[in-house]
Chains A and B, each alone.
Chain A
Amino acid sequence: EDQVTQSPEALRLQEGESSSLNCSYTVSGLRGLFWYRQDPGKGPEFLFTLYSAGEEKEKERLKATLTKKESFLHITAPKPEDSATYLCAAANQGGKLIFGQGTELSVKP
């Protein structure tokens, strides 16, 4: 069965304290790994798409990496405005997005 697991469920950081979010996946014929940011009551905002192991993408303080079994979202020197829920989703062989439960990130000043 296709499954995506994110850890930790919640993460509290001080401003400037770098950390990583984990996304482990078991998906038949992975066709893409997607990261989204979601603020409360709003729709998910697209961050990154990764297609193959070894691929890395960066945007401001965020960097996403992909291996054959997991993906990491590294946050460097986070700011309070980075507080949100970060969702990981893997596209399976049929094209369906399998979402993880999300990591709720809180960055305190």
Chain B
Amino acid sequence: DTEVTQTPKHLVMGMTNKKSLKCEQHMGHRAMYWYKQKAKKPPELMFVYSYEKLSINESVPSRFSPECPNSSLLNLHLHALQPEDSALYLCASSQEGWMSTDTQYFGPGTRLTVL
């Protein structure tokens, strides 16, 4: 089983709202990732957690705040977003830590619209 789940599937929020995206995997994977994908573009890496520690932050604006409460769960807290932040947000996980060459398995994504 290589399932990564994400909730919600769709989210519409105003620029003053605070919301959170959730990602879960029960494969025992030790690295988890957040990507942002705009239409007709490839995924762009945002954050990497490896063994529950933040390993990579790709210079993401502070209005995006990641959190890894345990090895199976990854959250992305959103606050004061801009309309240009509207995108498909993807979570992924891989077996070993960040520096391994293990395959990353993606979730179905959360379609975020910022009004």
Contact = CB atoms under 8 A, between A and B. Distances in A.
Interface string B85-102: 000101000000011110
Contacts, number: 49
Contact of B111 (A34, A41, A87, A95): A41
A95 B109 contact: no
B90 to A, nearest CB: 5
Interface of B: 2, 4, 6, 41-43, 45, 56, 88, 90, 98-101, 103-109, 111
A46 B94 CA distance: 12
Contacts of A44: 43, 90, 106
A81 B58 CA distance: 35
Contacts of A41: 88, 109, 111
Contacts of A42: 108-109
Contact of B2 (A46, A87, A94, A102): A46
Contacts of B42: 87, 89, 99-102
A96 B41 CA distance: 17
B40 to A, nearest CB: 8
A45 interface: yes
B103 A95 contact: no
B111 A49 contact: no
12 contacts: A32-B101, A34-B103, A42-B108, A43-B88, A43-B90, A43-B109, A44-B90, A46-B2, A89-B42, A96-B45, A101-B41, A102-B42
